Chains A and B, each alone.
Chain A
Amino acid sequence: MGPGAATNISNADYFIYVVAMNYLTIFSGVLFLLAFILMGLVAQRIQRVFGVRTSWPLFFVGPVGALVYSVYTIVHGSGPTASGEALALERWLAYGIFLVGSMACWWGIRSFFNALRALEAEGSKVREKHVGGASHA
């Protein structure tokens, strides 16, 4: 009897739907983390060059929530077979960290976007003052 017997699905299905997918979920968590890190590096550079607050560390910390959730699916990714008080607490923790991480990502991207808008507004003011002034002269 294989591990699929406990859940009434064939062992091949168990491997595809549970084992392989759990590892791929971790992989997708890592990919999200890398994508946000790249955007965080851009935000860090813009903060350093223009001196605007971009909250770039949130880009590095936020996606860790998605990664923790992915790891949880490996540890107890058996879906309906996972039950009981301890597992419920773990599920609360994993989902909670995912929620907090998502909020951090959202807040980071919001701060970065606001900083960009402030820079654009500043840029157009300077352009109006100097380019407009130069045309009058």
Chain B
Amino acid sequence: MLESLKEIPREPLVYEAGGIIFASALLGFSHTMRHLLRTIGRGGLWILPLLGALLVLVAVILHGYAWYILMPTAAVGEVPGMLGEVYRYRFIALLAMLLASLLTLSGALAFWLMFNGSRRKVQ
């Protein structure tokens, strides 16, 4: 049991940890945006970074699956086409990351415009 644990590559674990912390930062981003939107009397936009956080989590899970489940089989080369499968998983994970960033930015941009709009009204 201990021996098999030693064989687990550690670098991807650092990525997984980073991804989980980044997803929780995005959750905080969404929560903070929700508070600020409530202050300026608007709502709803905080859903976008929340979806972004969930997609980052999906990307982290897919990355972990590719590294710890698919990669050992691909490295041995017993199953033909397994390397292509690893690439496809990586592709889906990166696509999830791209969608997460698009959602987060569009939420942040719309919020920024609203925030500036309310400042102008106050002035």
Contact = CB atoms under 8 A, between A and B. Distances in A.
B43 interface: no
Contacts of B65: none
B28 A96 contact: no
A116 B36 contact: yes
Contact of A79 (B25, B86, B108): B86
A56 to B, nearest CB: 12
Nearest to B12: A95
A98 B55 CA distance: 17
Interface residues of A, number: 49
Binding site of A, secondary structure by majority: helix, strand, loop or mixed?
A: helix
Interface residues of B, number: 45
Contacts of A117: 35
A121 interface: no
A38 B112 CA distance: 7
A39 B32 contact: yes
Contacts of B95: 21, 24
B57 interface: no
Interface string A112-136: 1100110010000000000000000
A35 B105 contact: yes
Interface of B: 11-12, 14-15, 17-19, 21-22, 24-25, 28-29, 31-33, 35-36, 49, 71, 74-75, 81, 83-84, 86-88, 90-91, 94-95, 97-98, 100-102, 104-105, 107-109, 111-112, 115
10 contacts: A8-B81, A13-B84, A18-B87, A21-B95, A31-B105, A32-B100, A38-B109, A91-B11, A95-B14, A98-B22
Interface of A: 7-9, 13, 16-18, 21, 24-25, 27-29, 31-32, 34-36, 38-39, 41-42, 62, 65-66, 69, 73, 79-80, 88, 91-92, 95-96, 98-99, 101-103, 105-106, 108-110, 112-113, 116-117, 120
